[in-house]
Structure 1
Amino acid sequence: MISPVRPVRVVLRAAAACALGGVLTACGAPGAPPSARPAPAATSTAPSRPATLARGPAGLTPVFKNGPRTQGRTVALTFDADMTADQGARAAAGERFDNPELIATLRALKVPATVFMTGRWAEEYPAQARSIGRDPLFEVANHSYSHYGFTGNCYGLPTVSEDRMRSDVERAYTALRRAGVPNAMPYFRFPGGCYDRQALKALAATGVTAVQWDVVSGDAFATDADAVARQVLEGVRPGSVVVMHCTRSAAPATGQAVRQIVPELRKRGYRFVKVSELIGAARGRQ
């Protein structure tokens, strides 16, 4: 998602980061993409379905920003694995859009996390996508195939037309499945965090819950890990969703920042959870 996110024709106050010269740029719920549904269980016990939110007014795609503030100190770290559809040449030239060291850090610290992955990223790094997707510590969700904007004027991103929004999301699920991610979650993060009523309407049939955030890490293009850690620690509240990035070339300080953030939040009594747990808690209050 690498874009400083501001309101884009809908109430959205966050500033997550996005430029990089051209821009770095349900499972089982009714209407969920087939590729997002869990495979049949090998035993007679069916897998539980990930929590999703009920559709909004007029049947629009629901939007989730944070979990309940009064059900304990939980926080979800989320990481956007960004790569736009037209960045293949840059990857071939040696630019790294992945960050295996960050994933290793999360594993070493035993931190559950949700990774929002573009289909193009999964195609470029299928072994990493498969490793992340099959690790019970993580859950993989949809960040579009192309990482193009779902509204106009979204930080310089090319724009997905309304009639192609649904197919872009479905194409991402297909790419994730082909990379070896077995159970991609029915959650979608808009590139740049940009969305409007038209986009929410276009995606309603996919059955996804759109996931935003309430804490911006400021890690995109940052080289000062201390500053990133400080911004997260100052912003986290019970139920928070923190947006960070799993993109080495555009967020090089993230791993170091995580090594500061995790022990400090644990010291404050926070428990790290995946987005699905926060959505489950929120759904219980709908």
Structure 2
Amino acid sequence: MANNPMCQICGEFPETTEHSLILCPWALAVWFGSSTGYIPEKQKITTLEAWILEIQKKSSLLSDNSEYVMQCVFFHLWGIWKHRCDVVMRHGTPNPRTAIECINRSLGEWLNASGLLDRTSPPETIPSPIPTWQPPIFPSVKVNVDGAWDNVTHKSGIGVIVRNHRGNSIAGASILGNHNSPIEVEADAVVKGLQLAAFLKIQNIIIEGDCQELFHALNNPSSSPNWRISHMLSKVFHLKTLFTGIKFHWVPREANRVADAAAKLAKRRLCSQDWANRPPTSLISILRSDGLPGPPVV
């Protein structure tokens, strides 16, 4: 047993559970360097139990697969603890890359055993990376949009996030609305995204969203679109003339997480909110884990 309460790896802080598994500098590197891209808010971490409950609460609100998110968290905690013990016992140096590789291998084995991977795959197969948001090529700017709809109250939320080639947030909005169908919310989200881009005087934009039906209609003007969105498509094609270059890209929901969360935020809070380059605190962690090389918030 160590007779010194300080961390045996960094030597700078008391060796609490929270420090050992989350806040120690090398553990921070594991969390950020892995697929989670997670950057803990140190001042908000009091106990491990409270932290896990907060992660579970956020994952249930912002993810369609909270079970996978929590299993990912648990495998990271266990992998960090095992690597830390090995380093301390052998008087070695922690290697975040080695820890991440072990975590990915263990997580892949669990996914395979639980039936979430094709059982014909080799046991050592690690699941393909989850699709993430990709920065545009300069000078283009990406505008991600999404909608959330309540089929009982018909209340809706629209999420818009504008980011440049560095991944920096330029502007965004969570807009409360009222629509008769989910496809109408999605179409209105594109309109709001174009209006925001025009207000910012951006010339080259890429509009991204995860509604396949809508983006098929946007990229095929000669097709017969859903009658519910015909008038909104007319608005879109009118707004297109305000830009030098414009593209419409469909992306899976995993690559549209910030807009999705912003839309749910508007519907859940029952209010609208616009922001410039500083998004709401609840969205910052998603922005930072969106597959970018570093914190993307200006």
Same fold (TM over 0.5): no
TM-score by length of 2: 0.28
Between structures 1 and 2, the one with greater helix share: 2
Give the number of the structure whose alpha-carbon radius of gyration is greater: 2
TM-score by length of 1: 0.29
